Structure 1
Amino acid sequence: MYRQFSWIGQWWLVLIVFFNSCVSPAGIKGQTVEMDDGKWGFVGSKVDLRCRFINSSPPVKISQVTWQKLVNGSKQNVAIANPSLGVSVAPPYRDRVAFKNAAVRRRTPTLEDTTITFSSLRLSDEATYICEYTTFPAGNRENTVNLTVYGKTDGSQWNLIQMSCYLATCVSANGKPPGTIRWETRVPGEVTNREYKNSDGTVTVQSDYILVPSRETHKETLTCVTTYNEEVFTDSVTLDIQYEPDVSVDGFDGNWYHNRENVQLSCQADANPAVSLYQWRLINGTIPSNAEIRDNILTFKGPVTYEVQGTYVCDATNSIGTRSGSVDVSIIGMFACYWSVYCCHY
């Protein structure tokens, strides 16, 4: 079918030359080919390339419409519509290009609207396309449209690596033109951007965010913002920073007096991962026999005696390491308490 059209195209070309030699198209005004200035689409999407013949006066007969692709200065046939022989699409486009107007596909003499639809766009489809009308007696009328094909970026892809420092990697893959990447976070760090050109003409952008891990940055949010052809993709990760325990000992209020009851010390540890082992010890001494240890709580049973005073240390351990916290416990005598009460009411 297509070879037949190639022959027909040559026959029409001879006919066109003959008519042009007989009738001056300059004397026939008003016929124009109407097309968009430019069209664009993403790889794999669908796009319409509009082409309409505006036939004001006097009326002319449309003999054939030819769509061509302009490649390095030469024209390649894409599709042909003929009112007598119907429609032919060149093999490279046969499964992806069709005339949108159903009447054109039914061998109708009405070819005023010969818009074509491109399906499953490829990067190689990006080019200038010519819509050429062969008419009698006006001769040839044509116009062009530029089709731009964007490589659809894959958006944000994450890779978070923990070393001596943290390396967060965000990738915008297979973009044409390439996407842009920026970071949103309260965590201080350094950014490094790189571009890689792919064999199909697309570009992959990689952005690395390097930060020094610390307890303050744990659970902070790191957001990668990718912008591509006015579309914005965001992806976030909550930082999981591992660190040794930060330890403190609570419970001693400075008012542990002799014979006071229900006192205890609590070992508080901020750690990631969580503390797996608590150990209590008394500097230069032995923990009193009336003390009960349950994980991070050291409880003194019964009335407090002078044996309780001293420096207590809590060692907290997780898989990263061991850190310690301490408190100095002193016991106030009863006479000091009475004197304090007396002074307050004096």
Structure 2
Amino acid sequence: MDRVNYQDSCALKRGIQGLGRSCKWPDRAMVGLSAHYRPFCLQLLVLFCLLHPGAPDQPHPTSNNPGEEALSIQGVRGSSVELDCRPGPVPVAVLWSFTPLGSLVLRPVAVTDGASSRVESGAKALGVVSLRNSSLVIEQLREDARGHFLCQTLLVSDGQVHTTYLYLTLAVLVPVSKPRVHLSDPSPIEGVSVVVTCAVREGTEPLTFSWRHHTPQRPEEVLVGLSEPRLLLDPVNRTHLGWYRCSVSNAINQLSSDGAFLDVIYGPDKPVITVEPLGFTEDGFWASEREEVTLSCLAASNPPSHYVWFREDSQVHVGPTYIIARASRTHTGLYTCLAHNSHLDTHTQATVQLTIYYPPKGKPSCAVLPTPGVVTLLCTWSGGFPKAQLHWEGPQGIGPTAPSNVTWSYTATGLPNGSIFTCLGQHPTLAMPILCRVTLWEPPRSPTCGTTATVGDQFVMLSCEWPGGEPPAMLSWLDRHQQSLGDPSSSPAVYLLQAQSDLAGREFTCQGSHPLRAPGSHCRLRLEAPQLAVAEPRVSVLEGEEAWLGCVLRQGTPPAQLLWLGPQQQPLEQSAYGFMLHPEGTHLRLQVRDADPAHHRGTYQCVARNAVGNSSQSVLLEVLRYPAPPNVTISRLTYRRQRREVQLQWAIYGPGNLTGFLVQQRASVPSSEARAWEVAASDIEPESRDRRLGGLDPGVLYAFRILAMNHHTAGHPSEVKTPVDPAFSAYPAVLGAAGTGMVVALAVSLLVFQYAARHPHTFPCEWRNERMGCLTP
């Protein structure tokens, strides 16, 4: 940055004083100014001398004198601060200067005359500098902005030139940087001394410190009373293990460090062995066979102990927990847990005795066998040592007893429904006997018969169900001669028949038997071809309306398939040519939407099929047309809007109803082949008699015709006409000429005004005063 020496300042001052004693400039305001500021300041002073030539010589007031204490302002590094010259009359010019701490050199920062402003390039060392009126705004404040600021203003008050000065001292505060925790020994052995230090890189003092400590087992706790940047742990023990964090704050902010982990090394202590499930003996622990047995070993240590399990003299597992997923007699023996601290290379161990008892596997199993007139009860529970003892108990007393397997044949005569028989199993290892029960009950209601077609209706499957009951009921299929079809079986009983036409009318019986029900029960079914009925054999609708054809299955062996065939004897599918099928149980309704004589008129058939036959019923659908509407004639057809639109008018004559009109158009080109008609407008209300049609090509000659519509029935087309031009009108031409004159006049005025602005000496000042704000000296 350029600076001016004192001699240059004095020379500049003497030159300014030659303009008049009222135009004084203080020496200190020019010292340190860069070269490009000198003509700017001289120009400002000359301007005010010319405006006020008779101003008396008066002192220059200041906001504070150099001997007075400067105003103190604080800012935070990286934020923004605004230095204000104090409120008062709007100054003509403002000059900001800066003197760093420890320096006597005044450096210009920014200057403004109200209309324009300039910021010195060297002001970037202070931050992002800008001027807001007479205030100096520094954003992204930097530490180099510490120092003294001088605001010099030039203003006019009561017709006199005044200069003011304001001294400000800016202190830049630095936020606390993120602290870091340092451990003198991150992994000390229990009993030594450890120093924990909280270090912060920067931050304006005074600084306040606080500490936090937490372990994986305990929530975070505040160390009350420790406000120093250094902690002394002497001696360190296992309770000191965990994360240490420090927080540092000053007047600006507060930040906390990341956690530093203090890993205290100790152990292992003597292991403690536990066994689950817990059972004690004089020598140690016991567990039952088939159970999951868990041996756990725990020895306090850091780093955590490495565990090795031994059974007798053989290693069986590595880790703190040894799980015997399914204990057996072979797992009986001595178990030793060895704990090892790999960091300190120390060992400890403990030994326990484990004995396995084992009952029979699982629990007793009860079953009942269906035998005619007799209920045979079977209970088994094999294995174990010693073998389990089993015995039956019934409604009328105790049954036989035997080890592992016991059978009891009980006469079912007079046995009530819901009778309960219990088998009890006892073993020395069990505190309570283990039992199983059998409840005898007859199946509810009676057997149910049904049929199902399988493999594309190639077979008919006879099925019979009689669920429930203990023991299950036995079912047999009989033909019409009461001959058995296959062997008896429990529910469900199934028999397959080859599908053929002679099955229609044949009857089959399902016979069921149960020990608690005498006599048994049965159900019958009869195979029949399907029978159909239609809602109406003849249906008539008008063209475009909706028709419904109904069909219902009266009887027949299920499952049966219903379908509709069209007039061409083809199966009708959903949504094809306006057809919709509505199945509702045994009903199948056919919906014909927007009936069209060309596609929908004819004879339809409803067909029913099952595995033993089929049947059909016919329905005649008539689609009638609406009566013809009256005839139409075009009364007027004229162009509009430069042949891009036409206005069409028409009239009707003759009898008949109508629901609307349809306008058609085509290019009228002389040719041996006429082009196809296109729809120009549709859905025209029946009351309408005219329509405006747009979107035309001016270079194409069009032909139009109109038809009356009665729903879907179109009347005879009108005569074909081409549009003609409307009568001449002078009104658009007059409007066009007036608009063109206004545009020319406006263009000439703009050119004269632009020339006067660029050549001010050519036009009189009075003219320029009125239009351009010319000043008279």
TM-score, structure 1 normalization: 0.61
Kept in 2, the 8 Å contact 1:245–1:275? The answer is yes
After superposition, the C-alpha distances for 1:184-226 in whole angstroms (9 at most, x for unaligned) are 33699x9897xxxxxxxxxxxxx443435432233x3322011
Query: Structure 1 residue 75: deviation in Å?
Result: 3.4
AA aligned opposite 2:203: G
Query: Structure 1 residue 21: deviation in Å?
Result: 8.5
Change (3 A) 1:266 1:155: closer
Query: Structure 1 residue 316: deviation in Å?
Result: 0.6
Kept in 2, the 8 Å contact 1:214–1:241? The answer is yes
1:41 aligned to which of 48, 60, 75: 75
The answer to whether the aligner puts 1:267 opposite 2:289 as a matched pair is no
Query: Structure 1 residue 262: deviation in Å?
Result: 2.5
AA aligned opposite 2:282: Y
The answer to whether the aligner puts 1:82 opposite 2:105 as a matched pair is no
Change (3 A) 1:66 1:303: closer
* Percent identity of equivalent pairs: 19
2:58 aligned to which of 12, 24, 40: 24
1:229 aligned to which of 251, 255, 268: 251
The answer to whether the aligner puts 1:117 opposite 2:137 as a matched pair is yes
- SS where residue 35 of structure 2 aligns? helix
CA distance in 2, matches of 1:114, 1:3: 22
CA distance in 2, matches of 1:47, 1:152: 15
- SS where residue 22 of structure 1 aligns? coil
Paired residues in the alignment total 283
Quote the residue 2:263 is aligned against.
Answer: 240
CA distance in 2, matches of 1:169, 1:317: 33
Change (3 A) 1:192 1:52: closer
Quote the residue 1:129 is aligned against.
Answer: 149
Kept in 2, the 8 Å contact 1:244–1:271? The answer is yes
After superposition, the C-alpha distances for 1:41-75 in whole angstroms (9 at most, x for unaligned) are 333333222234413xxxxx834211122455553
AA aligned opposite 2:248: T
AA aligned opposite 2:149: Y
- SS where residue 6 of structure 1 aligns? helix
CA distance in 2, matches of 1:115, 1:155: 34
Change (3 A) 1:233 1:259: closer
Query: Structure 1 residue 25: deviation in Å?
Result: 5.3
CA distance in 1, matches of 2:285, 2:177: 68
2:348 aligned to which of 324, 328, 344: 324
AA aligned opposite 2:162: G
Kept in 2, the 8 Å contact 1:249–1:327? The answer is no
After superposition, the C-alpha distances for 1:233-278 in whole angstroms (9 at most, x for unaligned) are 1235254333332333234999523798429964312333332242
AA aligned opposite 1:91: S
Query: Structure 1 residue 114: deviation in Å?
Result: 0.9
Query: Structure 1 residue 126: deviation in Å?
Result: 0.9
AA aligned opposite 1:67: W
Matches within 5 A, 1:31-180: 38-55=72-89, 62-71=91-100, 72=103, 75-83=106-114, 86-93=116-123, 96=127, 98-101=129-132, 113-136=133-156, 137=160, 139-160=162-183, 161-162=185-186, 164=188, 165-177=193-205, 179-180=207-208
CA distance in 1, matches of 2:202, 2:283: 76
Give the number of the structure whose alpha-carbon radius of gyration is greater.
Answer: 2
Query: Structure 1 residue 317: deviation in Å?
Result: 0.7
The answer to whether the aligner puts 1:4 opposite 2:36 as a matched pair is yes
Matches within 5 A, 1:167-316: 167-177=195-205, 179-185=207-213, 207-211=229-233, 212-218=235-241, 220-237=242-259, 238-251=261-274, 256-257=281-282, 261-262=286-287, 266-278=296-308, 293-295=316-318, 296=320, 297=322, 302=329, 314-316=337-339
Quote the residue 2:407 is aligned against.
Answer: none
Structure 1, unaligned runs of 5 or more: 56-60, 102-112, 194-206, 281-286, 332-346
CA distance in 2, matches of 1:7, 1:46: 32
Query: Structure 1 residue 175: deviation in Å?
Result: 1.9
CA distance in 1, matches of 2:128, 2:352: 85
- SS where residue 271 of structure 1 aligns? coil
Query: Structure 1 residue 119: deviation in Å?
Result: 3.0
Kept in 1, the 8 Å contact 2:176–2:255? The answer is no
Quote the residue 1:283 is aligned against.
Answer: none
Kept in 2, the 8 Å contact 1:130–1:145? The answer is yes
Query: Structure 1 residue 125: deviation in Å?
Result: 0.8
Kept in 1, the 8 Å contact 2:187–2:263? The answer is no
Kept in 2, the 8 Å contact 1:187–1:217? The answer is no
AA aligned opposite 1:78: V
Kept in 1, the 8 Å contact 2:187–2:262? The answer is no
Change (3 A) 1:7 1:302: same
CA distance in 1, matches of 2:315, 2:281: 17
Structure 2, unaligned runs of 5 or more: 3-33, 65-69, 214-220, 356-777
AA aligned opposite 2:96: W
Give the alignment's Cα RMSD to 1 decimal. 4.8
- SS where residue 51 of structure 1 aligns? coil
TM-score, structure 2 normalization: 0.30
- SS where residue 36 of structure 2 aligns? helix
Change (3 A) 1:75 1:288: closer
AA aligned opposite 2:112: A
AA aligned opposite 2:82: D
CA distance in 2, matches of 1:170, 1:251: 44
AA aligned opposite 1:262: A
Change (3 A) 1:6 1:157: farther
Query: Structure 1 residue 169: deviation in Å?
Result: 3.6
AA aligned opposite 1:120: Q
CA distance in 2, matches of 1:69, 1:208: 41
Kept in 1, the 8 Å contact 2:341–2:347? The answer is no
CA distance in 1, matches of 2:306, 2:130: 72
Q: Which has the higher contact order (CA 8 A, sep 6+)?
A: 1
Kept in 2, the 8 Å contact 1:42–1:149? The answer is yes
Change (3 A) 1:157 1:68: same
Change (3 A) 1:20 1:246: farther
Kept in 2, the 8 Å contact 1:292–1:298? The answer is no
